[in-house]
Structure 1
Amino acid sequence: MNAQHISKIFKLLICSLIITTSCNKKKESVENLKSETTATATENILLKEWTGPYGGVPAFDKVKISDIKPALEKGMELNLADIDAITTNQENPTFENTIVPFEKSGKELNRVFTYYGILSSNLSSPEFREIQKEMAPKLSDFRSKISQNKILFQRIKSVYDNSQKEPLEDDQQRVTQLIYEQFAMNGAELDEDKKKRYAAINKELSELYTNFSNNILADEEGYITYLSKDQLGGLSAPLTKAYEKAANDRGKQNMYAVTNTRSSMDPFLKYSTERKLREQVWKNYYSRGDNGDEKDNNKNIAKILQLRKERVGLLGYDNYADWRLQNRMAKNPENAMKLMNEVWPAAIARVKEEVSDMQTIADNNKNNITIEPWDYRYYAEKVRKQKYDLDSDEVKQYLQLDKLREAMFFVAGELFNYKFTPVAEGSIPVFHEDVNVWEVNDKSSGEHIGLWYLDPFARTGKRSGAWATTYRSHTTFDGKKTVLASNNSNFVKPAPGEPVLVSWDDAETFFHEFGHALHFFSSEVRYPTLNGGVRDYTEFQSQLLERWLATDKVINTYLVHYKTGQPMPKELVEKVKKAATFNQGFATTEYLASALMDMKFHLADPTNIDVDAFEKETLSELKMPKELVMRHRTPHFGHVFSGEGYATAYYGYMWADVLTADAAEAFAEAPDGFYDKDMATKLVKYLFAPRNATDPAEAYKLFRGREANIEALMRDRGFPVNRN
C-alpha cells in the first residue's frame, strides 16, 4: 500500500467522521428541539396531550383564540422536527424506519388542528377569521416543506419500490402505496424550479380558499329576512316559534327571522303563503357570494380555476379533472361524465312533468302565476297532497330530532352491535352548550369503542350544512386509539320546551351523517393513512344508512307524534312509501347540475373566464329547467372552492348512490331484509371496517359478489331503465 492510497483512505475516514458527526449533531438538535418544546407544550393547552377519561379528550372548555397562532407555529416546528428525524436516519429505508415514523409524525400539530377545525366550522368569529387569513399561507408553506422534501420522498420511494419486489403485509403494502402516490401526485418528482412554482400556487390557493369560505359565511350572517306577525301565513307553530327565537337572539323583539341557511330557508319556501317573501328569501340564499360587493366570489373562483390548471400542468396533466380522478373509482372524467349523462335526461324530463303538475294546480286556484324557482317547493307540496294525499307538515309531526337520534342508536345496535350511553353532564369538555356526548361500547363485550359528540343547531359563526368529523381516529400501530367522532347539523333551534321537528329529507341527512360516524367507529385499520377514503366511495356507506329510516322497525317504534306519542298511522306510512320517488326530478336535477358544473368548470380553459357567464351558458347547453337552480350555485359552492376535497368529485355522490341502490336491493332480497344478520356481518366486514385498507372496487365485490349496476339507481329513483 503506497502513500497515495494511505492518503485517500485517511481522507475518506475524515469525511466519514465529519458526515457522521454532522448527522449525529442534527439528530441531537432534533431531539433537543422536541425536549425543549415540552415546556411550551405545557404552556399552550392546544399543544398538550389530551388527558382525562376515555383515552384522553380535547380540552374544548379551555380554548382561547389567542392560543391558536402560537400553537400552530410551534406545532409546525415540531412536525418538521419529526420529518428531520426520518431524513437524517442513515440506515437503509424500510417500512419501520420511514413509513411508521411518518405515520406518527405531527401529533402535536394534529391536536391543534382539532381545535382549529372547531373554531373554523362551528364557532367562527371575525377575530378568528383574521387569524385564518394570516395562517393560511404559512400552513401552505409548511405543507410544501414536507410534500417537496426530496430526501423524505426518496426514502418513501425506496420503500415503495422494494415493496413491488418483496411485498409487505397487505395493509403495510396499501399504506406505502397511498403515501407514495400522495407525494408523487403533489409534485415530489418535479425539478426545483417547478417545485417552487408548485408551492407558490398552493400558497396562493390557500388564501383564496379561506377568502371564499369567509365570504360565504359573511353573506349567510348578513342577509336575514325579518317577518311581522301578519306575514306568517302557512307556517306551523313550531317553525314560527323557531323563527321568533332567531329574531329575539338578534335583538329583534316581536319579529320573526328567516336566516340565510338551508335549514331556515327550505321550510319557509315550502310552506309560506307570502310569495313576495318567498322570492326575497330565495334570492338571499342563492345569491350568496354573488352580490357584486366586496364579498363577491366570482374573481376568487376564476383565479382558483386558473391556478389549479397551471399547477397540474406542471405535473404534465391537461386539466385538473384528469389529475384528480386518477385514483378515484371513476378513474377519469369521461367515466364520471358518462354516469351523469345517463341520468340527466331522465331527471330533467321528470322536472318537466313536476312543473306541469304544479302549474295546473296554480291555474286551477286562479293564482295567475308562472312557476318560478321560489314557487317550486311550495307547489310541490300541493302536488304531493293532491297525488298522494300526503302533507309534509303532517309527516314532520312524527319526526322529532331526539327520537330520530334514538332510532339511529337502535340501527347501530342491530347492525354494528353498538350501545350508546350518555356521558354524565360536565364530565367531558364541550365547545358549546348545545353539544352532547355519548359513550359507544360493544353490546356483547362491553369494550369501549369511542365517544360520539352531537352539535345539532345552527348558530352565528357556524358554517351551513351537515357534516361528520373525527377528533381522533382508530389506529393500533402505536398503541390502540379509540374514536372521538362528531356529527354537526344546522337545525333551527326551537323555543325552550319545544321539540325539534324536521322534514323527511332532513331526517335522511341526519342518518346519512351518522353513517359517516359509524364508518369511523367500525374502523379496524392499523395505520392513520388507511382511515382516509376515496371520495366517490366514502359517501356510499353513509348514503346506504339512510335506507334504515324507512324500515318498519324504525317507523313503528321511533316515528311517534310529538304531542300524543302515538306511532305514525299505517295509512300515513303507506303514503310516505308510495311517495318515495316523488319530486325526484327536483332532487336529482339540482344535485346533478352542481356536479356537472363542477366537472365542466375544471375541463374548460379558465383563461379570462367569466364565471357567471360560464355558469349561465353551460346550464343553457344542458337545457337546465328554468324553474330551479343548482343545489350549490358556483359563487357559494364551498365543496369545490373552499378547498379541494370535492373539486371535480361532487359527482361522487351519484357514483356512490349507484352502489347504495344496488346494496339496498341486496338487503331487500335477504331473508330478514334490512335486519338480516348475515348481511349485516358482511356490511361491517367488507364495507365499513376496512376503511381504505382495501381497494373500494374489490371491497364492494366481496360484499355483493359482483360490481354494482346502474339499473338499481334508475329503479330507485323511479326513472325509466334503459336496457340497451
Structure 2
Amino acid sequence: MTNPLLADWTTEFELPPFAEFSDADFAPAFEEALTAHEAEIAAIADNPEPPTFENTILALEGAGRQLDRVLGVFFNLAGSDSNDARQALQREFSPKLAAHSSAIYANKALYERVQAVWNARADLDLSEAEQRLLYLTHRGFVRAGAALEGDDAERMKEVKSRLAVLGTEFTQNLLKDESGWSMVLAEADLEGLPQFAVDNARAAGEAAGEEAPVITLSRSLIVPFLQFSPRRDLREKAWRAWTSRGANGGETDNRGIAAEILKLRETRANLLGYPDFAHYKLEPEMAGTPDRVRDLLMAVWGPARAQAEADAAEMEEMLRADGIAGPLEPWDWRYYAEKRRQRLHDLDESELKPYLQLDRMIEAAFACANRLFGIEARELDVPLYHPDCRAWEVTRNGEHLGVFIGDYFARSSKRSGAWCSAFRMQAKRPEPRTPIVVNVCNFAKPSAGKPALLSYDDARTLFHEFGHALHQLLSDVEFGSVAGTSVARDFVELPSQLYEHWLEVPEVLAEFATHAETGEAMPEALLNKVLAAATFDMGFQTVEYVASALVDLEFHSGTAPADPMQKQAEILEGIGMPRAIAMRHATPHFAHVFAGDGYSSGYYSYMWSEVMDADAFAAFEEAGGAFDPEVAKKLEGFILSRGGSEEAEDLYLKFRGKMPGVEALLKGRGLAA
C-alpha cells in the first residue's frame, strides 16, 4: 500500500489526511522523499544542457515538494503534539536533514550552474520576481559555504550536522522539564486566587489525573498564580521552577548544550570569513550590523530601566506595608504590580477576564481582517491532528485564499509559547498552491461546559499570531521561497505586532468583549480602564525583553563564551539589570535562540519591528481611523502580499514613504520623557 504521507491527498483543500497515517509512516515516507529530492538535485546538477534560469534556478525552486510536504506535517506535529515516538524521530531526522542540506550546498557541479546563471544575469531578460529568486538562491549558496573547499567544506558539514542534533536536544529537554513539573494545591492554597484561576487550576488537575487543583508551567496558569496568590512561599516555588527550566542538572540540562551551540556558530561564521556569528547572521537583515542593533536596544534600555526602578520603589513600599522587610524579589513583582494596577487604574484582571472569551476574540480577529482586507472565514468540519484544533476556509469575493487552523489550548505534548507555522506555503510557480496556516497557542483549557477565558495578554497573543497568519494567507507572490513570512527576521514581526493594535481599538472591544455569562458588552467604564492601563508595567515588560535581546546579541558578538551562564551574569551586571526582574528567557530555556537558528542574534527583531509597527499604525490614525481603506490597501499591497519578493526596507518605504525613528516606540510604550 502507498504510504499515506506520499499518496495524492484527495481531502478537502488537500489538507493532510491526519486520520490516515500513524507515527510508523513518518520514517519510510521521510526516507523515500529524501531519496527523491536527492535524485532531483542530481538531475539538475548533472544536466548536460547549459545552465539557464529555468533548468537550474526554477528547477531548484520546484524540487523537494514531496519532502516539504512530509516535513511540514512532521515538524508541525513534533512541536504541537509531541510524543516519545515523534521525539525519537526528530532526533533521527535532524542530523540527516542537516547532512542533506549540506550535500546540496556542497555540490560543486550544482554551485557552478547557479554561479553561471548569476554571472549571466544581465543578459537573461528576467522579470523582477525571477531576478529576486536568482539573487536569493545565489546568496543562499554562498552563505551556506558552497565556495568552501577541502577541510573547510568538511568542517562546515560537521558543524551543521552537530548543530541540528543540539537544537533538537535543547527543545526536547525543555519540553521534558516543562511537562515534568507541577504543583498540587490544597484548598487553602487557593486563597486570593480569582475564580478563573481556580477553575483553570482545577481543569489542569483533571487533565493530569489529579483530584486537586494543579499549577503547571503553562504561562496561562503560572502567571495568574504569580499575580494573585498571597502565598509568597508558593510564588517563589512556582517562579523558581518556571525560570530554572533547562537548568535542573541531569540529562535535561541545557547549559552545556548552549555553550557548544555558541562555539559551533562561531566556527561556522569564521569559516565563511566573518569575525563572529552576529556579523554573519545580521548581514542580510534590515539592521545589517551588531552595532545598529545595540544602538536601538540601548536607546530603549535607559528609559525602560528608569521606569522599572521607579515602579520597583513603589512596590517595595507595598511589600513593607504587608510586614515583609524586603527586598522586592522577582516572585513578588507580578503580585504587587497587580495590586498597584488595581490601585492606579481600578482594573481587576478577574473583572476583565469574563469579557475576553476565546471564541469572541477569534471572531474579533476575523472581523477586523474582514473590514481591513475583505476576507471571510467559514469554519470547516474536517479531521485535524488533535481534537482541540479548529479550521476555517478563508476566502475573498468567493475566491479561495487558504485554510487557517487554530490550536489554542495548552497540553503536555505541546512546547510552550505561541507561534505561527504552515503546512503549505503560497506560490504561483512552478505550480500554483494556496497556503495552509496554523496558529498554535497555550491558553488554559477550561473544564467541560465552561467557556475559555483569556487574559488581556492572551488576547493580544491571539491577535499577534493571527497577524502572522494574515501575512501567509494574503501572500501573492510567484515563488514559495519568498512567500508570506519568508522575509528578513527583523521584518517578520511587523505584521504580527501591528495587528495587536486592533485589539485596542475601542469599537472592537465594544463589539466583541462580551460577558461569558450575561452576554452584555464590556461597560464603557471598564473599557476606558483597559485602554488607560495599556502601558501599565511597561518598564518591567521592556526590561525583561531588552535584557534577553542584549544577552543574545552579546553571546554571538566576539569570542563565544565558554560558560554562557557566567557571560549572561556579566552582561546583566554591565547594563544594571534591576534585581527584581529576570530575563524573559534565561539561557537554558531560551528556545528562540538555541532550539534552532531562527532568532539567534535576532531576538532584537521584535523591537526592530515594533519601531515600524508603531509608525505603521500611526499611518491609520493620521488617515482618520483604524480601518481606513486606503491605508489598508497599501498595507496589503506593499507588505502583507509581497513576502520576501523585495528588500524589507524598500517595501516599508513604499508603504510609509519614510523609515521611522525610535520615538514612536517609546511613546507607544509610555516611556517617552
* Aligned residue in 2 for 1:25: none
1:528-569 superposed Cα distances (whole Å, 9 cap, x missing partner): 111111100010111000000011221110011111111111
CA distance in 2, matches of 1:209, 1:505: 29
Is residue 51 of structure 1 aligned with residue 10 of structure 2?
yes
SS of residue paired to 2:421: strand
Match of 1:36? none
CA distance in 2, matches of 1:135, 1:573: 50
Aligned to 2:578: 625
> 1:690 aligned to 625, 628, 642, which one?
642
Q: Is the 8 A contact 1:201 1:311 kept in 2?
A: yes
Q: Which amino acid aligns with 1:196?
A: E
Aligned to 2:431: 479
Matched, 1:148 2:106: yes
The CA distance in 1 between the partners of 2:48 and 2:225, in whole Å, is: 65
CA distance in structure 1 between the partners assigned to 2:634 and 2:560 by the alignment: 45
| CA distance 1:53–1:251, change in 2 (3 Å) | closer
1:593-612 to structure 2, matched below 5 A, reads 593-606=547-560, 609-612=562-565
Equivalent of 1:662 in 611, 615, 626:
615
Counterpart position of 1:404: 361
- 1:369 positional shift: 3.6
Tell me whether 266-275 or 510-519 shows the greater mean CA deviation. 266-275
Paired with 2:77 and 2:641, the residues of 1 have a C-alpha distance of 30
Inter-CA distance 432–226: structure 2 relative to 1 (3 Å threshold): same
Match of 1:87 among 42, 45, 58: 45
Counterpart AA for 1:349: A
Matched residue, 2:501: 547
Counterpart in 2 of 1:108? 66
Deviations 1:59-103 (A, max 9, x none): 112231111222111111101111112112222211111111111
Percentage of identical aligned residues: 39
CA contact (8 A) 1:49 1:108 kept: no
Tell me how far apart the structure 2 counterparts of residues 439 and 416 of structure 1 sit (CA, whole Å). Answer: 15
Tell me whether 1:181 sits opposite 2:135 in the alignment: no
Structure 1 residue 367 displacement after superposition: 4.2
Match of 1:311 among 244, 250, 268: 268
Give me the whole-angstrom Cα distance separating, in 2, the residues matched to 1:167 and 1:334: 38
Cα distance in structure 2, aligned partners of 1:476 and 1:513: 25
Looking at structure 1, the residues matched to 60 and 649 of structure 2 have their Cα atoms a distance apart, in angstroms, of: 27
Give the deviation of 1:368 after TM superposition: 4.0
> What are structure 1's unaligned runs of at least 5 residues?
1-41
The equivalent residue for 1:636 is: 589
Quote the Cα distance in structure 1 between the aligned partners of 2:98 and 2:424.
23
Corresponding residue number in structure 2 for 1:17:
none
Displacement, 1:137? 1.5
Could you report, residue by residue, the CA deviation over 1:424-462 in whole angstroms, capped at 9, with x for unpaired residues? x3xx220010011111110xx210111111111111211
**Deviation for aligned residue 1:134:** 2.2
Residue identity in the other structure for 1:162: A
- SS of residue matched to 1:485: strand
Q: Aligned partners of 2:98, 2:503: CA distance in 1, in Å? A: 42
Contact 2:76 2:423 survives alignment (8 Å)? no
Quick one: distance in 1 between partners of 2:183 and 2:568? Answer: 27
Greater shift in the superposed pair: 409-418 or 136-145: 136-145
State which of 247, 257, 281 in structure 2 corresponds to 1:290: 247
* Aligned partner of residue 145 in structure 2, secondary structure: coil
**Which amino acid counterpart does residue 240 of structure 1 have in structure 2?**
V
The answer to whether the 8 Å contact 1:388/1:579 transfers is yes
Q: 1-side partners of 2:445 and 2:505: how far apart?
A: 28
| Whole-angstrom CA distance in 1 between matches of 2:22 and 2:601 | 36
Conserved? CA contact 2:510–2:527, under 8 Å: no
Q: Is the 8 A contact 1:72 1:109 kept in 2?
A: yes
1:171 matched to 2:123? The reply is no
Structure with max Cα Rg:
1
Decide whether the 8 Å contact of 2:539 with 2:671 is kept in 1.
Answer: no
5 Å-filtered alignment, 1:200-279, equals 200-253=158-211, 255-279=212-236
Q: Residue 502 of structure 1 aligns with which residue? A: 454
Aligned-partner SS, 1:190: coil
Aligned to 1:435: 389
Deviates more, 1:364-373 or 1:329-338: 364-373
Counterpart Cα distance in 2 of 1:224 and 1:173: 54
Determine the structure 1 residue equivalent to 2:525.
571
Quick one: structure 1 residues 367 and 568, their matched pair in 2 at CA, closer, same or farther if it must change by over 3 Å? farther
- C-alpha distance in 1 between matches for 2:80 and 2:418: 11
The secondary structure found in structure 2 opposite 1:674 is coil
Contact 1:48 1:108 in 2 (8 A): no
2:21 to 59, 63, 66: 63
Where 1:648 maps in the other structure, the secondary structure is coil
- Asked whether the equivalents of residues 61 and 430 of structure 2 are also in contact (C-alpha less than 8 Å), the reply is no
Check the 8 A contact 1:58/1:429 in 2, yes or no: no
How far apart are the structure 1 equivalents of 2:538 and 2:391? Answer: 35
Corresponding residue number in structure 2 for 1:29: none
- Other-structure match for 1:10: none
Matched, 1:704 2:656: yes
Residue equivalent to 2:670: 718
Give the equivalent residue in structure 2 for 1:363: 320
How many angstroms apart in 1 are the aligned matches of 2:350 and 2:619? 32
Where does 1:533-544 land on structure 2 (aligned, <5 Å)? 533-544=487-498
Partner of residue 674, structure 1: 626
Question: C-alpha distance in 2, partners of 1:234/1:82?
Answer: 63
Q: Check conservation: 1:435, 1:453, Cα contact below 8 A.
A: yes
How many pairs are equivalent? 671
Alignment check: 8 A CA contact 1:63 1:115 kept: no
- Whether 1:583 aligns to 2:522 is no
User: What is the TM-score normalised by the length of structure 2?
Assistant: 0.98
Instruction: Report deviation, 1:166.
Output: 4.8
Q: Which whole-Å CA distance do the structure 2 matches of 1:164 and 1:478 have between them?
A: 23
The separation in 2 between residues aligned to 1:707 and 1:127, in whole angstroms, is 48
Alignment check: 8 A CA contact 2:304 2:539 kept: yes
Taking the aligned partners of 2:207 and 2:48, their CA distance within structure 1 comes to 62
How far 1:716 moved relative to its partner? 0.8
Higher relative contact order, structure no. (Cα contacts within 8 Å, ≥ 6 residues apart): 2
Superposed displacement of residue 343, structure 1: 0.5
| SS of corresponding position for 1:450 | strand
| CA-to-aligned-CA distance 1:446-501 (integer Å, 9 cap, x gap) | 10111111111111211101111111111111332111111110111100111111
1:263 CA drift (Å): 2.1
Could you tell me whether the CA contact under 8 Å between 2:200 and 2:221 is conserved in 1? no
Amino acid at match of 1:115: V
**Is 1:383 the counterpart of 2:340 in the alignment?**
yes
2:403 alignment partner, one of 436, 451, 474:
451
The answer as to 2:58 corresponding to 1:75 is no
Amino acid in the other structure paired with 1:640: V
Residues 573-582 or 625-634, more deviating: 573-582
Shift of 1:165: 5.1
- What amino acid sits opposite 2:205 in the alignment? A
- On the 8 A contact 2:545/2:584 being kept in 1, the answer is yes
Check conservation: 1:238, 1:498, Cα contact below 8 A. no
Report the residue type matching 1:67 in the other structure.
D
Does 1:614 find its partner at 2:573? no
Report the RMSD for the aligned CA atoms in angstroms. 1.3
Does residue 298 of structure 2 align to residue 341 of structure 1?
yes
Letter in 1 for 2:643: R
State the one-letter code of the partner of 1:510.
L
Q: Is the 8 A contact 2:493 2:606 kept in 1?
A: yes
The answer to whether the Cα contact below 8 Å between 2:506 and 2:527 also exists between their aligned partners in 1 is no
Give the letter for the 1:569 counterpart.
P
CA contact (8 A) 1:499 1:562 kept: yes
Distance in 2, matches of 1:617 and 1:360, equals 29
**1:364 to partner: Cα distance:** 3.0
Equivalent pair of 1:47/1:109 in contact (CA under 8 Å): no
- Per-residue deviation at 1:164? 4.1
Partners of 1:249 and 1:261 in 2: how far apart? 13
Separation in 2, partners of 1:475, 1:614: 44
